[in-house]
Amino acid sequence: MRQQLKTITLAAVLLLAFDACRTIPIAASRTVAIDMPRADNMALGNPSNASASTPDNYLLVKPQYTISYSRSRGIANWVSWHLNQSWKGDARRVDAFRPDLALPSDWYAARTGDYTNTGFDRGHLCPSDDRDANASDNAATFLLTNIVPQAPRHNREVWKNLEEYERQLINDGSDVYIIAGTSGTGGNGQNGYATTLANGKLTVPATLYKIIVVVPRGSGDTFQLTPNTRIIAVNIPNVQTAADKPWRAYLTTVDALEQLTGYDFLSNIPTDLQQLIESRVDGSNS
Binding mask 114-133 for Mn ion (x = CB under 5 A): ---------xx---------
Closest CA to 173 of 214, 217, 213: 217
Which is nearer to Mn ion, 109 or 126 (by Cβ)? 126
DSSP-derived letter for residue 12 is: H
* SS3 call for 273: helix
**Minimum separation from the CB atom of position 114 to Mn ion (A):** 17
Beta-bridge partners for 258: none
Beta-bridge partners for 235: 209
The answer to whether the CB of 255 falls within 8 A of the CB of 5 is: no
Closest CA to 225 of 21, 68, 45, 102: 45
CA distances from 91 to 95, 132, 145, 147 (A): 12, 5, 22, 20
Which is nearer to Mn ion, 7 or 279 (by Cβ)? 279
**Minimum separation from the CB atom of position 162 to Mn ion (A):** 10
| Span interacting with Mn ion, options 87-95, 152-160, 193-201, 236-244, rule CB under 5 A | 152-160
**Considering only residues 162, 211, 257, 266, which one is a binding residue for Mn ion as defined by CB under 5 A?**
266
The answer to whether the CB of 186 falls within 8 A of the CB of 270 is: no
Task: Decide if residue 274 touches Mn ion (CB under 5 A).
Answer: yes
Site for Mn ion in 226-265 (CB under 5 A): 264-265
Which is nearer to Mn ion, 10 or 181 (by Cβ)? 181
**Minimum separation from the CB atom of position 45 to Mn ion (A):** 8
- Rounded to whole angstroms, the Cα distance separating 253 from 25 reads 19
**Minimum separation from the CB atom of position 255 to Mn ion (A):** 8
- Rounded to whole angstroms, the Cα distance separating 228 from 241 reads 34
Which is nearer to Mn ion, 151 or 194 (by Cβ)? 151
What are the backbone dihedrals phi and psi of residue 158, each rounded to the nearest 5 degrees, phi first?
A: -65, -45
| Residue 124 is a catalytic residue | yes
Task: Decide if residue 83 touches Mn ion (CB under 5 A).
Answer: no
Any idea which residues carry the catalytic annotation?
124
The residues of the shown chain that bind Mn ion, judged by CB under 5 A, are 123-124, 155, 264-266, 274
